[in-house]
Homo-oligomer: A and B are copies of this chain.
Amino acid sequence: MKKSVLVLLFSIFLMYSCANTSSEEKPQKTDTKPVNNIGLVIHGGAGTILKKNMTPAMEAEYEAMLEKAAKKGYEILQNGGSSLDAVEQTIHILENSPLFNAGKGAVFANNGKNELDASIMEGKNLNAGAIAGVTNLKHPISAARKVMENSDHVLLARKGAEEFAAAQGLEVVDTSYFFTEKRYKSLERAKKNDADKKAAYLDPYIKDYKYGTVGCVALDKNGNLAAGTSTGGMTNKKWNRIGDSPIIGAGTYANNKTCAVSGTGHGEYFIRANVAYDISALMEYKNMSLQEAAKEVIQNKLKNMGGDGGIIAIDAKGNLVAEFNTPGMYRAMVDEKGNVTVGIYSE
């Protein structure tokens, strides 16, 4: 009988722990405290990036620029700077580089202009800012930050966003600043071929016209997460199309409770699937790890809808993730020790 009582007690314990598990809330970190696990991840776009279409020189060029950007951000974090500053400054480097579809190097819209989108979000207070369709701002990511910090709004568009950013003292450039020959040729090819995809395939840099974007996520020494994304959108885009990059919850999301995410891919699917916020929701509501949540959203949910692309993310513990369902994604990670890992293909 003694054994039976023990087993009974054990079964009662099981019942209790079972009930406890199902109603248990994940402890949520809302205040911030110093951490040692700083980290940063960047991306330079996902798409049909195949080794056979790259030269060793091109690979080296991309890798060097990704490493440079990632190291810049890490340096800021290492010196005690905020994740917000790290995200903004890292993206400046990517916006300055003609290699990526953001800032200088942005693709051309059908109207022959470069229409730029960007957004930024802060995990500690869920503050966010974004701009869509600006044509004369050197650093769209900084315009997004100004919207967040110095306006009552989250999203400003086109002329209004340009006027706001100019009034904030941000650098305004002539639209010709964004001209790059390779992108202009892509537009010409896209216009020549009705089938955009074929034209994009001919682009020697990014083999898919939809997927160039840059982004950065970071965790700073105060335990604050931040995420930012900047893009020129799609080659030959019409009708002032806005993609996921300036949409909070789709292309960008940050919450100290969970993670910071920046996406790149076929933006329409990212909007419909609420990609960035969904990763956070799976962590918060289903207790998934960052890795599990990112995989579920990118490899299952998004893929089942037919959406191509990827995300980079970092969680409040400094775990780093780059998840994509395309043949490649330009990316780099820096962990808390300063180790940089650069990648292009899915391997």
Residues of A within 8 A of B (CB): 1, 3-4, 7-8, 10-11, 14-15, 17-18, 21-22, 121, 126-128, 132-133, 151-161, 163-164, 238-243, 247-250, 253, 267-268, 271-274, 277-278, 281-282, 285-286, 305
Q: Is A272 touching B157 in the complex (CB atoms < 8 A)? A: no
CB distance from A264 to the nearest CB of B (A): 16
Instruction: Say yes or no: A157-B133 contact (C-beta < 8 A), given A7-B11, A239-B163.
Output: yes
Instruction: Say yes or no: A272-B154 contact (C-beta < 8 A), given A14-B18, A277-B249, A278-B281.
Output: yes
Residues of B within 8 A of A157 (CB): 132-133, 157-158, 240-242
Residues of B within 8 A of A161 (CB): 239-240
Oligomeric state, in copies: 2
CB distance from A303 to the nearest CB of B (A): 14
Q: Which residue of B lies closest to A22 (CB)?
A: B21
Q: Which of B158, B164, B271 contacts A154 (CB 8 A)?
A: B271
Q: Which residue of B lies closest to A210 (CB)?
A: B152
Residues of B within 8 A of A154 (CB): 267-268, 271-272
Residues of B within 8 A of A4 (CB): 1, 3-4, 7
Complex Cα gap A132–B153 (Å)? 15
Q: Is A241 touching B156 in the complex (CB atoms < 8 A)? A: yes
Q: Which 9 A-B pairs have CB atoms at the shortest separation, nearest pair first?
A: A160-B240, A160-B239, A4-B4, A11-B11, A18-B18, A285-B285, A157-B240, A281-B281, A249-B274
CB distance from A126 to the nearest CB of B (A): 5
